[in-house]
Amino acid sequence: MRRRGASTKVMAAGTAVEPITAETADEIAAQEFARIVESHRPQIFRFLLASLRDVDLAETLTQECFLKAHRNWKNFRGDSSAMTWLMRIAINLQKDYWRNRRIQFWRQTRTNAVDLDEASEWLPNGERSAEQQMLAREQVAQVWQAVKGLSERQRTVFLLRYVEERELSEIAAATGLSEGTVKAHLSRALGRVRAELRGKR
Amino acid sequence: MNWEQDMAGESRELEQALKHFKASMDAWSDAAYSRPRTAAKLAVRHSWRMAASWALGCLLAAGSLAGAVHEIHHRQELARLAAQKTAQERAAAGRAVALHASAQVEKTVPAVTIAKVTVSTQDEDLLASVDSDVSREVPAAMEPLAQLMDDNGTQ
C-alpha cells in the first residue's frame, strides 16, 4: 500500500480540488488506520496466540502492536504491505516478550499459556466421524509437540507459513531474513513435524 | 492453499496434519477473539482489591494510632504516679523536718521565757535605782520641794 503525503493535493477525474488541510489529512489517516485495524487485527491476534499459547497475553500484545503501529502510522511509507509491517511489529513484540521472560525467569513471572493437550482440543465442527476427529486431534497434538521443539525463529517462520499462509517473500520481509534462510528454517521445521508424526505412529 | 507447493512429494499425512493444525488454530483464535472481554470483571475485582487494601490500611493506621495513644497515656500515668510518690516522699520528709524543728523549738522556748523574765526584772531594778538616784540627787535648794513631792505622791 502506498500512502501519499498529507500535504499533497487530491486530484479527482482530472479536476483540481482544494488542498487538503492538516485536520482533514489527519482524519483520513485515522479512518485508513481504523480500516487496517479492523481487517488485520484477527490475523495478528491469531499469530500471537499461536506463538504464545496465551489468550490474555496475545490480546495484550495485539493491543500493543496496534498502539505502536498507530504511533508510527505517519512514518509508514508503504514499502511493504500493511500486513507485513504489522506482522513485523508483532514479531518484535513477541521476541521482546520471550527475551524479557528469559531474563526475568527467576522473578515471579506468571504465565497463562495453555498446555499442548488443551491447545490440541480446538477443532472446527466439521461433518466428521468421531474416529476422524480423534485422528485429527492427535495430529494437531503432534504438530504442537514439534512446534514446541523449534527455535524461536523457526517457530515464527513455520507459523507464518502454515497458519498465516504468508508468501516466502512476505515472511522474509516480516522477519528481516533472506528468502533462502526462510526456506532453510521451514525445511528444518517440517523435518521436525515429520519426525514427530513418524515417531508417534 | 498457497503452501501446497511445499507439500509436493511430502506424505499425505504431513499435509493432513498441517491442515488440521491450521484449522485448529483458526477455531481457537476465532473463539478467543470473539469471547466476551473480562475487563469489567477485572475492574470490579481490582476495585474490591483496592477497597480491601484501603480497609486494611485504615485498620493498621487506626491500630497504630490507638497503640500510640495508649502508650502516651500509659507513660503519662506512670509519670503521674512517680510525681505523686515523690510528692508523698517530700511531704513525709517535710513532716519529719517539721516535727524535728518543733521538738527543737519546744526545747528552746523555756530558756527564752526565763531570759525574758530575767531581763524584765533587771529592767525594773534598774529603773528603781535610777528613780532613787534621781530622787536623791536633788540640789539642796530644792530639798523642800522634793519633800513636798514625796508628800503629795504618798497622799
Nearest CA in chain B to A147: B21
Which of B25, B38, B41, B45 is the best mutation test for A, with the most CBs of A within 10 A? Answer: B25
Please provide residue A15's backbone torsions phi and psi, each rounded to the nearest 5 degrees.
-105, 135
Average pLDDT, chain A: 80
Of A70, A52, A72, A73, which is closest to residue A61 (Cα–Cα)? A52
pLDDT, tens digit, for every residue of A69-120?
Answer: 988 887 777 777 888 989 999 999 988 888 777 666 554 455 566 666 676 6
Which of B7, B29, B30, B45 is the best mutation test for A, with the most CBs of A within 10 A? Answer: B29
CA A48 to the chain's CA centroid: 6
Choose among B2, B13, B22: nearest Cβ to A197: B13
C-alpha span between A151 and B95 (Å, rounded): 99
* Residues recorded for chain A: 201
Interchain pair B26, A46: CB under 8 A: yes
Q: What are the cell numbers at A84?
A: 507485513
Residue A27 has pLDDT above 60, yes or no: yes
More confident residue, A109 or A61: A61
Please provide residue A17's backbone torsions phi and psi, each rounded to the nearest 5 degrees.
-115, 175
* Residues recorded for chain B: 155
The single residue listed with the C-alpha cell 523549738 is: B105
pLDDT, tens digit, for every residue of A128-162?
Answer: 777 888 888 888 899 999 998 899 899 999 999 99
Residue A186 Cα, gap to closest chain B Cα (Å): 10
Please provide residue B64's backbone torsions phi and psi, each rounded to the nearest 5 degrees.
-65, -35
Interchain pair A45, B33: CB under 8 A: yes
Interchain pair B14, A190: CB under 8 A: yes
C-alpha span between A69 and A37 (Å, rounded): 9
Beta bridge partners of A12: A15
Mean pLDDT in consecutive groups of 10 residues from the start of chain B, 155 residues:
58 87 90 73 65 90 92 92 91 87 74 70 84 67 74 59
Choose among B1, B6, B18: nearest Cβ to A143: B18
Nearest CA in chain B to A55: B32
Global confidence as pTM: 0.57
Q: What are the cell numbers at A164?
A: 498465516
Q: What residue spans of B34-154 are helical by DSSP H? A: 39-136, 143-154
Q: What are the cell numbers at A110?
A: 506468571
Residue A65 has pLDDT above 90, yes or no: yes
Q: What are the cell numbers at B12?
A: 499425505
Please provide residue A79's backbone torsions phi and psi, each rounded to the nearest 5 degrees.
-65, -35
Q: Identify all chain B residues contacting A139, using CB atoms and an 8 Å cutoff.
A: 13, 16-17, 20-21
